[in-house]
Structure formats: C-alpha cells, structure tokens
Amino acid sequence: MNRISNFQIYCLLVTSTVSLAYLITPMVVIHAARNGAWLAVLTSIIPGFLLVYVYMYIIKKSPRPFPALLEDCLGKVAGKIVGFLYILVFLFTIAFTLRYFVALIGSSIVTDTPLSVYIGAMLLTGYYALKTGLENIARMAEIVVLLGLPLSVLLVFISLAQAPHVGSLIPILGTDYAGFGQAFLYSFLITGEMVAILALAHFTNDRHKVSRPVFMVLYTYIAIITITTMTTLLNFEVDYANLISFPTFKLVRSITVSDFIQNIDVVFVSVWIIGTFAAITVKWYLVCYTTQQVFALRDYRFLAAPTSVVIGIGSLMVGRNIAEIQIIVHELIPYVYGIFYILIPFLVFIVLLFKPVPAADTKLDSPAA
C-alpha cells in the first residue's frame, strides 16, 4: 500500500479546512458577533483542541480506518447506514464548495461565462487527479499549501495598511452573548473538516506522530481566520461588512499600494482557484474511499466518473442564487457539520472508551492509495 508523509497529511487537511472557510467564516462570525467576531474565532481554539483529542483517540483505539470503524462501534448494520450518510454529506459539501466557487466567479469576476463551464473544468481536472491516486493528490496539496498559504496571508497583511479603524476590534461594542456564542460555535464547527484524518491517518508512514500535523492544521485555521476577520473589521467596520456577499474578496479587491499597485485580486482568484480545486479533490477522494469501504468494493477509482455526474448536478441545484447560498451557509452548514463532523465522532469516542473493539477477525485492509 502506498504511503504519504505527515507533512502531506497537514497539507491535505489545510486545503480541506481552510480554503472555503477563508471566504465564509469571517462573513458569518461578523454577522453574528459584530465587533467581537475576531475574539469568537480566537477562543474557538479551545474546543478545537478537544476535538483533535477526540479524533486522535479514535485513531489510536480503532484498528480500522473510517468508515469501517463505525461498524466496530455501532454494529454492522448501523455502521453501514451511518457510513452511507457520510457519503451523502461529503457529496453535499463538494457540491456546495463548487457552487460557492462559481457563485463568486460568476457574480464578481467573469459574469458572462456560463456556470457549467467552471463546474465542468473543475470536475475534469479533479477527476484526473483522483484517478492518479492519493499520493499524487497529496503532492498536489503540498504545492497548493507551499504557494497558496503564504500568498493568502500576505494579501491579508497588505490590506492592514489601507485605512484601518482600530475601534472596530473592541468586542464590547455591539456584541451580545447570544451572537458571540453563535460565532464561537460556527468557527468551531468548521474545524470538523479535519474529520478526514480518521481515514487519512491509516495511510501515513508515521502514524504515531500524526497528531502533530493535525494540531498544526488547527493553529493554521485559527490564525488565518482570526487575522482575516480582524482585517475585514478594520477596513470595512461592522455595518458595511454585513452588507457584502463576499467580504474577503472585497477586502483583497480594495487593496492599493501607493496608488500604484492595484487590482491584485487576480492573485487572490488564482490562489483560491487552486485551493478550491484541492479542497474538492480531497473531499472527492473521501467520497470514493468511503463508498469503497461501505460496500466492500475492491477499488475506488472507478467511482470517480459516476460521482462526478452527481457532484455536477448537485452543484447546479444547491443554491439557485446568492440569497439561497447565504441561507445554506448560515442555517444548514452548522447542522450538517455539527452532526456528522462533531457529534457522531464524539459518540464513537464514547463507545471506544468503554467497548473493546476486536481487531483480528474484523481487520479490513485499506485499499491502495
């Protein structure tokens, strides 16, 4: 079986977790917590630590990768049913990520190009990457993180030099406990994207040290989203930021350096395209891998073609306009992430605390990466 390094694990999880959150989370937390949004994101690192511990404990105690471990903890029938539901959840998150991507491109950048062109191009390249295997997907994620992450952080720091309103960061202004708690919870739920580690950890060449890259992903997510939220508040203030559909993109588009360097949003778009592509590919791999495990198939690569059709149709059906997409972001995403990325792993964690899981007679080898 092919193996990937722990640094590649870090890159895969960063692309899966941060790419979409970079655009969505600052918008949602500012809407909920107003001036205290940045503090809500920063403090969500505390439950994030606990969630990583839950994931690491599951990996340590379970002899089989996700989703096969669900059968060991919940029973064969219930485990397969929950595993099948995870397939649908992963498909939904891919379709939503792709739809959000084309919504930004179609509404703010290239407005005359049909959405199907963007969707088709993204699925075609993702299909090719998936057919080459997990090792090549991991190498692609390395390139994305090494090039895209520093550029994303640099763009945010450059925007700090525009016209900051420092008073926008004072949490006591316009922040209530309910709104702060909502922003805190939303920021924490996004860390559930790291659930992919339950499957990826069984492919690493150093499983005993796999907790290090997962904690580094948590630090990276909290740092980037906190800084981006702070910068958005500093430049736009609360009321104006709540009127913008894509505040992070607006933030980058407004950057000017000495009235000479302008329109550097093309850099942001390039970075986000490759980041979104990597995020979609990682989740797409999880769809095929989970399907292979749930239905005991010999390989997962042949699933790339039929699932691409489902993803393409789903991305066209998820949110017909910006308003519907925003409703999904604020109302549906928290429930999906809370149940499948937080609650169910926590229940598995509780079961593993008290129930010994047989290893010898239920061992199912992981497929080739």
User: Is pLDDT above 50 for 293?
Assistant: yes
pLDDT given at position 161? 64
User: Is pLDDT above 70 for 28?
Assistant: yes
CB 197 within 8 A of CB 210: yes
Residue 97 and residue 109: Cα distance in Å, rounded? Answer: 17
- With respect to residue 16, please indicate whether it lies within any of the assigned structural domains: yes
Tokens standing for residue 209: 């040290």
pLDDT given at position 334? 92
- With respect to residue 366, please indicate whether it lies within any of the assigned structural domains: no
The domain of 343 spans: 10-354
Which of 264, 319, 275 lies closest to 122 in space, CA to CA? Answer: 275
User: Is pLDDT above 50 for 367?
Assistant: no
pLDDT in tens, 311-341: 988 888 887 777 788 888 888 999 999 999 9
* Residue position matching structure tokens 């500012």: 30
pLDDT in tens, 336-361: 999 999 999 999 999 998 876 554 33
- With respect to residue 364, please indicate whether it lies within any of the assigned structural domains: no
pLDDT given at position 111? 65
Q: What is the CATH number of the domain that holds 285?
A: 1.20.1740.10
Q: Give exposure, 291-308, as e/b (b: 16+ Cβ within 10 Å).
A: bbbbeeeeebeebbeebb
Domain count, the chain: 1
pLDDT band at 297 (very low <50, low <70, confident <90, very high): confident
CB 19 within 8 A of CB 275: yes
CB 141 within 8 A of CB 282: yes
Our separate counts of H helices and E strands in the chain read 16, 0
pLDDT given at position 162? 62
Helix-helix angle 265-294:304-317, to 10 degrees = 120
- With respect to residue 139, please indicate whether it lies within any of the assigned structural domains: yes
- With respect to residue 368, please indicate whether it lies within any of the assigned structural domains: no
- With respect to residue 84, please indicate whether it lies within any of the assigned structural domains: yes
CB 197 within 8 A of CB 209: no
pLDDT in tens, 182-200: 999 999 999 999 999 999 9
pLDDT given at position 54? 94
- With respect to residue 359, please indicate whether it lies within any of the assigned structural domains: no
* % of residues, the chain, pLDDT over 90: 34
- With respect to residue 1, please indicate whether it lies within any of the assigned structural domains: no
